[in-house]
Amino acid sequence: MERLAARWLWFVEHWPRAAVFAPFVPLLLSWWAVAEIEIFPPAFFPHPLEVLRRGVELAYKGVLGAYLEDSVLRLAVGAAAGIAVGLPLGLLVGLSDRAHRTLWPLLLFFQAIGDIAWLPILLVWFGFGLTTMTFVIVYTVMFPVLMNTALGVRAVPEVLPRAALSLGASRARVILEVVVPGALPNIVTGIRNGLGFGWRALVAAEIIVGTSGIGFMMFDARRAGSVTEVVIGLVVLGVLWSIVDSWILAPLERATGERWGLVAR
Partner 1 sequence: MKELLVERLSKIYFDPDRGERIAALEEVSLRIAPGEFVAVVGPSGCGKSTLLNLIAGFLEPTSGRILLDGRPVRGPGPDRGVVFQSYALFPWKTVLENVAFGPRMRGLPKAECHAKAMRYLELVGLAHVAHRYPRELSGGMQQRVGVVRALANEPEILLMDEPFAAVDAQTRMTLQEELARIYEERRPTILFVTHDVNEAVFLADRVLLLSKGRLREEIPVPIARPRRWPRLVEDDDFKALVARTLSAVRAA
Partner 2 sequence: MTASAEPVRAHRRARTGAIVQAALPFVLLLLLWQGLVAGLQVSPLVFPSLSAVVRAAGQGLRDGSLFLHLGASLARVAIGTAIALLLAVPLGMAMGVSRAVAAFFTPLLRFFSVLAGIAWIPIATLWFGYGFGAIVFVIFNAVFFVVAYNTLLGVATIPVELRRAAASLGARRWSMVREVLLPGALPNIVTGIRTGLGFAWRALIAAEMIATSTGLGYMLFLARDFYRTEVIVLGMVLVGCTWLALDRLLLAPLERRTIERWGVVRGA
Residues engaged in binding partner 2 (CB under 8 A): 5-6, 8-9, 12, 19-24, 27, 44, 101-103, 105-106, 108-110, 112-121, 123-125, 196-197, 200-201, 203-204, 207-208, 215, 218-219, 221-222, 225, 227, 230-231, 233-234, 237-238, 241-242, 245-246
Distance, in Å, from the CA atom of 219 to the CA atom of 239, rounded to the nearest integer, reads 19
Min CB(179)–partner 1 separation in Å: 11
224 contact, one of partner 2, partner 1, none, CB 5-8 Å limit per kind: none
Cβ atoms of 216 and 206 within 8 Å: the answer is: yes
Min CB(95)–partner 1 separation in Å: 16
78 contact, one of partner 1, partner 2, none, CB 5-8 Å limit per kind: none
Instruction: Please give the single-letter amino acid code of residue 107.
Output: L
Cβ atoms of 241 and 75 within 8 Å: the answer is: no
Instruction: Please give the single-letter amino acid code of residue 221.
Output: A
Of 184 and 244, which has the nearer Cβ to partner 2? 244
CA-based nearest residue to 154, from 111, 187, 194: 187
Phi, psi of 217 (to 5 degrees): -60, -45
184 contact, one of partner 2, partner 1, none, CB 5-8 Å limit per kind: partner 1
Q: How far is CA 12 from CA 28, 55, 182, 245, 248, in A?
A: 20, 31, 35, 21, 22
Of 154 and 200, which has the nearer Cβ to partner 1? 154
177 contact, one of partner 2, partner 1, none, CB 5-8 Å limit per kind: partner 1
